Amino acid sequence: MPRPSVQSARLNEIVEAAAKCVAQYGLEGVTLERIADETGLKRPLIRHHAGNREEIINAVVTHVLSGFGELTTMFANALPAKRGSYTAVDHLFDDHGRSDPAEMMVFQSIVAAADRFPAEAEALLKWVGDFTAVVVEAIKRDFPEVESEAAEAVAHGIVALYFNVDSLAPLKPPLAWRRYAKNAALLLLRFLEDNAGTQRAP
């Protein structure tokens, strides 16, 4: 008999809006007023649904972190058993399956505030490791003879190129830069192609 609750839906709206604020202004730039403007809701309502400023910031951070977690599993599942490393590169550097640009900026904000958010920073580091590990696994499936060190180097290179493209996106870099990044990633795989089983120290 009560009025139906929209709490969870509103909470989601609010967290998404707060994420946009974090992306633009950083963690310190999150104000209830900005969230209110972004959502079209009145400021006191923001607090009613999502708690105080600190709770909202925590919610954004955990939301983004869990989003990253999902991204990793989706990414891992999208890789076929053979030539998975090439599929990975396609996924990462074609618009297909890109991450939300705002999320990447939240990522950077947490990194910058690592001192004040040690637990979150650690989770983020773990995520980067897990994400890279997915690429490493794909590489090892495709190139079973490759040395672990080389597989790690290539995987880290691919992930670094991906992060870089995404994190520079707000600067609106020339389109060619994305192509260069993808080509560089492919060059790293080419090395494995040409040297699998016959590595020397790099």
Partner DNA sequence: TAATTAACTGTCAAGAGTGACAGTTAATTA
Partner DNA sequence: TAATTAACTGTCACTCTTGACAGTTAATTA
- Of 119-148, binders to a copy of itself (CB under 8 A) are 121-122, 124-125, 128
Q: In sequence order, which residues have a C-beta less than 8 Å from that of residue 40 and are 6 or more positions away?
A: none
**Residue indicated by tokens 């060059």:** 187
Q: Do the Cβ atoms of 105 and 23 come closer than 8 Å?
A: yes
For residue 4, give the DSSP letter: P
Token pair belonging to 109: 């904000």
User: Closer to DNA at the Cβ: 31 or 164?
Assistant: 31
CA contacts within 13 A on the Cβ side of 199: 16
- Of 19-58, binders to a copy of itself (CB under 8 A) are 23-29
Whole-angstrom Cα distance, residue 176 to residue 169? 13
Of 51-59, 79-87, 95-103, 175-183: span binding DNA (CB under 7 A): 51-59
Residues of this chain that interact with DNA (CB under 7 A) are 1-7, 10, 30-33, 41-45, 47-49, 52-54
Residues of this chain that interact with a copy of itself (CB under 8 A) are 23-29, 105, 108-109, 111-116, 121-122, 124-125, 128, 149-150, 152-157, 159-161, 163-165, 167-168, 170-173, 176-177, 180-181, 183-188, 190-191, 194, 202
